[in-house]
Amino acid sequence: SEMCIRDSLSPRPRYTFGQFGLYNGIDFVAALIGMFAFAEMMKLAAQKQISQDDLDIAGSVREGAKTVFKYPVTTIKSGLIGMGIGMIPGSGATTSTFVAYAEEARSSATDGSFGDGDPRGVIAPEGANNPTVSGSLIPTLSFGIPGSGSTAVLLGGILMHGLQPGPVLFGEQLHITYALFISLFLSNILIVVVGLTVIPYASKITEIDTNLIIPMVIVLSFAGAYTLNQNWWDVGAVVVLGLLGFYMVRYNYSVIAFVLGIVLGPIAEQNFFRSLQISGGEYTIFVDPVNQPLSFLLTVAILVVLFGPFVKGRVERAVSRT
């Protein structure tokens, strides 16, 4: 959960500028607080009021449910993204929600209005959030490899009670596995109940004067950043990244892409060097269709995602000219 500034696979410090407080990198949570909470408070402080128009909180549970069913493709796609990312050890709900949002913003670029109340901007991350938990249970129960921080704690509890992750959990101890699945299902029902009973009252916070909200949020942001590691550098990161986030939003740069880089950067780097260690430094491990077909297909998929929009745009322009 850190923006890895130290070399991920060696003890060599990197970009620490001789400061001991930077040896463990900038905490990912501090980066999130800065890019979202602090930056949003700066944006709010520049406005005279939260909304340009007087708004009344309206709507109903029924309308909300109908809106979700209006976008089945978004819901199903985000759920599959959440489950797929959850299956990857080391990644979690944070990664899946940002990836699902970014993918929906990309695929809905022509008819979407993200940032202006498009319901798909809410459906996508929430549709990916819960399936990530289910996905992270797959490597945890099947191989004993925790898919996330929470499943690492769960794995410790499983081992402490004498249970053995792997084939045994799906054989002799299958009743334990089903108990876990059912409890996960029931917890989702509980989340709905709590949401329906608590959220209407929690929304009253929007009626508080912004002159009170802004200093409260900033103070809590600093306090939260410091208590992460008792490190003042994390507080400084909140300020610096908050300023960066504020100007990125102002000049239409993607904050989501930046946060995804923070989340996925260390994971990508560590596994990149692990792959090179396995191949003895040969980069062909990523593009060998014979010995490494999965790696080859993933590399092709990455290239398609990166260059597909450019090729599509050129083809559309060529067709329109003809």
Given this model, what pLDDT does residue 1 score? Answer: 38
Please check whether residue 86 is in contact with residue 92, taking contact to mean a CB–CB distance below 8 angstroms.
yes
Do 276 and 283 form a contact (C-beta atoms < 8 A)?
yes
Comparing 88 with 301, the larger pLDDT belongs to: 301
Kindly report the average pLDDT of the chain as a whole number: 80
Task: Give yes or no for a contact between 216 and 58, defined as CB atoms under 8 angstroms apart.
Answer: no
Q: What is the mean pLDDT of residues 150-166?
A: 76
The mean pLDDT value for 193-221 works out to 80
Report the percentage of the chain scoring pLDDT > 90: 4
Top-confidence residue, 313 or 79: 79
* pLDDT tens, residue by residue, 31-64: 888 888 888 888 888 765 555 555 555 667 778 7
Quickly state the pLDDT bin for 76 (edges 50, 70, 90): very high
Please report, for the chain, the start and end positions of each structural domain, with discontinuous segments joined by +.
28-281, 282-321
pLDDT given for residue 106 in this prediction: 81
pLDDT reported for residue 156 = 75
Q: What is the pTM of this model?
A: 0.57
> Is pLDDT above 50 for 217?
yes
Over residues 97-115, the pLDDT tens digits come to 888 888 888 887 777 677 6
